[in-house]
Amino acid sequence: MERILSLLSLIFKGGLIGIANIIPGVSGGTMAMVLGIYERMIRSLNCIGIGTVKKIMSFKITDIRRECQRIDVGFLFLIAVGAAMAIVTTSKLIVLLITEQHDPTYGFFCGLILLSILTPLKMMKQFHFYYLIPLLCATILTVGLTISMGGEKTLEKEKQKYKIEQLQKKLGGQDTDRQVGRSVGRLVYLFIVGAIAISAMILPGISGSFVMLLFGVYFEILLAINNRDFTLLITFAIGCGLGLLAFTRLLNFLLERYHDLTVSFLIGLMIGSLYGLWPFREFEVVSSQRIDFAHVLPRINTNLVITFVAFLFGCVIILIFDQFEKLNQRA
């Protein structure tokens, strides 16, 4: 029974990571930190390499089984299954919540992340005053990236993309952007952005969707998905895969050599992400997408009460997970 609960727990955690990657401003890496599986995930991904491919291609059951145990394939598989199931089953619901119930949704994630900062603090073996330097640098970096994505520039970009989309519909789906997208230069650019974006997704506090917006490919990838443009999607996916393997090696190296400094940097990323998750914003809707502007102070009304309740619910979820992990450790 305990084994089954443990497996279901990993699938559920993978689901939360998948949901986090759907929501702009929320990082899958942040959610992994919240759930206490971040370091294990990085270590497992770091074990995947050329040697893994060679052992799989040898078709020797014993070697493959040992390699799977070394990588912790069962753990990665359950996380991936949970994430995939959540993305497929809840993507429409999440989009609806962001559109119709934006403030409570972001209030909930604010509660999750704010209280979960205690999790990486517990991971630190000791704390020195100079650890505040990487923490502050990471906080400033995250806030700076968030600010660079907001405001009038983002709105104008989205309006231009919307005009292109409307023109595409008039032309029967044959748009020049898609043809340009298949040029070698554009494919190389998408490959590089994919590698950078996936690296951002596994960093707590930095949203991969924000990075894609920053490089101007977010809307292009969405169109490619809708139009089933496999040339663009495969190129982007290969960049994501290689970027993931390369970046996890760097993170694993830093966690092994400079554990507490690295964790303090990750805490700074989580703190900085709270700026991007502030629920109350001025906004405008373009092509059924909400474009947020400056942060505003909340008005005292029903929406504020609902958002605060959602915030508290996020905090309670973390407390429940914390107690659940303590019970697992005792068992």
**For residue range 145-164, what is the model confidence (pLDDT) as tens digits?**
777 655 445 545 555 555 55
Phi, psi of 293, rounded to the nearest 5 degrees? -115, -140
Are 288 and 166 in contact, with CB atoms under 8 Å apart? no
CA dist 295 and 231 (Å) reads 39
- Provide the percentage of residues in the chain whose pLDDT is more than 90: 3
CA dist 177 and 164 (Å) reads 8
**For residue range 203-212, what is the model confidence (pLDDT) as tens digits?**
765 666 666 7
**For residue range 233-270, what is the model confidence (pLDDT) as tens digits?**
888 888 888 888 888 888 888 888 888 888 888 888 77
Q: What is the pLDDT of residue 155?
A: 47
Q: Is the pLDDT of residue 308 over 90?
A: yes
**For residue range 289-304, what is the model confidence (pLDDT) as tens digits?**
555 656 777 888 898 8
The angle, 0 to 180 degrees and rounded to 10, between the axes of the packed helices 302-330 and 2-22 is 140
**For residue range 20-42, what is the model confidence (pLDDT) as tens digits?**
776 665 667 777 877 778 888 88
**For residue range 263-281, what is the model confidence (pLDDT) as tens digits?**
888 888 778 878 877 888 7
Are 252 and 84 in contact, with CB atoms under 8 Å apart? no
Q: What is the pLDDT of residue 36?
A: 76
Q: Is the pLDDT of residue 10 over 60?
A: yes
Q: Is the pLDDT of residue 192 over 80?
A: yes
**221 pLDDT band (50/70/90 cuts)?**
confident
Nearest alpha carbon to residue 130 among 225, 261, 17: 261
CA dist 44 and 75 (Å) reads 8
Q: Is the pLDDT of residue 108 over 50?
A: yes
**Furthest-apart CA pair in the chain: how many Å?**
66
The model's pTM is 0.63
Q: What is the pLDDT of residue 207?
A: 61
Q: What is the pLDDT of residue 177?
A: 47
Q: What is the pLDDT of residue 17?
A: 82
Are 48 and 119 in contact, with CB atoms under 8 Å apart? no
Q: What is the pLDDT of residue 297?
A: 79
